[in-house]
Amino acid sequence: MRVLVTGASGQLADAVLRAFADCDVIAHPRATLDVTDSDAVGRAVDQAAPALIINCAAFTRVDDAESRPADAFAVNAFAVRTLARAAERRGAALVHYGSDFVFAGLDGPEAEPYDESAAPSPRSVYAASKLVGDWFALDYPRAYVLRVESLFGLPAEWNGRRGSLETIVAGLEAGREVPVFTDRVVSPSYVVDVAAATRHLVDAQAAAGLYHCVNSGRGTWYQVAGEVARLLGMAARLKPITTAETRLAAARPTFSALSNRKLAAAGFEMPAWQDALQRWLAARGSAPRAEAGTAI
């Protein structure tokens, strides 16, 4: 199967490229394909003639998006429409990734995880741009949109921008006090598991459409960071903070747990986030010293 991957030097793309390594993959980082250039996208898709396009390109600087809405919408929304049109013209399937930030997420910690029928209510420019991207992709009947959140999975030697979990691990390993939210409930997502779920949906020729795709379960960032420290066998020097105390430009949902039920019904069970954390820490060389989920 010929597969064209956009945004190929990103965090999730790295895992996607591994999951599709046995395919004929044409990987385009931003340097070789700017997805906001519709002519270039058309040419690249015609040249590759892929059976599948996987869009990993995104404007992911959530706070910067507040002052750069046109850039965020160009990449996260209108480029998705361009890719969907190109896929349709070539008869290719399309995979696109959405975000939990499309939900207002103002519910309390006991709320039910959002499923695919939950009404979105974005509270930031990034969130709105991602929602429009979902809609443009879903207009195409052969598109899979996987909504993910709080991605992690970077190798220890990564020099670029880090996600929340990488920042927590780096802080703990350096012996620093790490500030973590006590009022944000998340379902962290290991890029390796998201990429495996993507591969499953494509191989199983599952029904196209929207799928929530996160590691199973939920926890506050404080609980997630505590589990990381426990797995590393380190004393957790965690500083509890709340979203109200921080001066981030973009609003964050305080409750972002997503339900994987639809994905499970399509034949793919996402492992628990604790299990995913343990596998990631082992893969990055931070040998875990405790079993996931067991008390110290």
Ligand X SMILES: NC(=O)c1ccc[n+]([C@@H]2O[C@H](COP(=O)([O-])OP(=O)(O)OC[C@H]3O[C@@H](n4cnc5c(N)ncnc54)[C@H](OP(=O)(O)O)[C@@H]3O)[C@@H](O)[C@H]2O)c1
Minimum Å gap between C-beta 155 and ligand X is 13
Q: Is position 34 an interface residue for ligand X (rule: CB under 6 A)?
A: yes
Nearer to ligand X, 148 or 201 (CB): 148
Please report how close the Cβ of residue 11 comes to ligand X at its closest, in angstroms.
4
Q: Interface with ligand X includes 153 (CB under 6 A)?
A: no
Given a contact cutoff of 8 angstroms between Cβ atoms, the answer to whether 201 and 144 are in contact is yes
- Interface residue with ligand X, options 75, 192, 210, 224 (CB under 6 A): 75
Q: What is the DSSP letter of 24?
A: E
The answer to whether residue 19 forms part of the interface with ligand X (CB under 6 A) is no
Q: Is 12 in the site for ligand X (CB under 6 A)?
A: yes
| Contact predicate 75/59, CB 8 Å | yes
258, 187 Cβ separation under 8 angstroms:
yes
Residue 148 sits in the site that holds ligand X (CB under 6 A): yes
Residue 17 CB, nearest distance to ligand X (Å)? 11
60 lies in the binding site for ligand X (CB under 6 A): yes
In the complex, the smallest distance separating the C-beta of residue 119 from ligand X, rounded to whole angstroms, is: 18
User: Which amino acid is it at 195?
Assistant: A
Please give the Cα distance from 246 to 198 (Å, whole number): 34
Report DSSP letters for 167-202, one per residue: HHHHHHHTT--EEEESS-EE--EEHHHHHHHHHHHH
Mark the segment that binds ligand X (CB under 6 A) among 96-104, 112-120, 224-232, 235-243: 96-104
**In the 3-class helix/strand/coil scheme, how is 37-101 assigned residue by residue?**
CHHHHHHHHHHHCCCEEEECCCCCCCCHHHCCHHHHHHHHHHHHHHHHHHHHHHCCEEEEEEEHH
Q: Which residue is nearest to ligand X (CB)?
A: 10
| Residue nearer to ligand X on the CB measure, 9 or 243 | 9
Which residues are at the interface with ligand X (CB under 6 A)?
Answer: 6-7, 9-13, 30, 34-36, 56-60, 75, 97, 99-100, 130, 148-151, 163
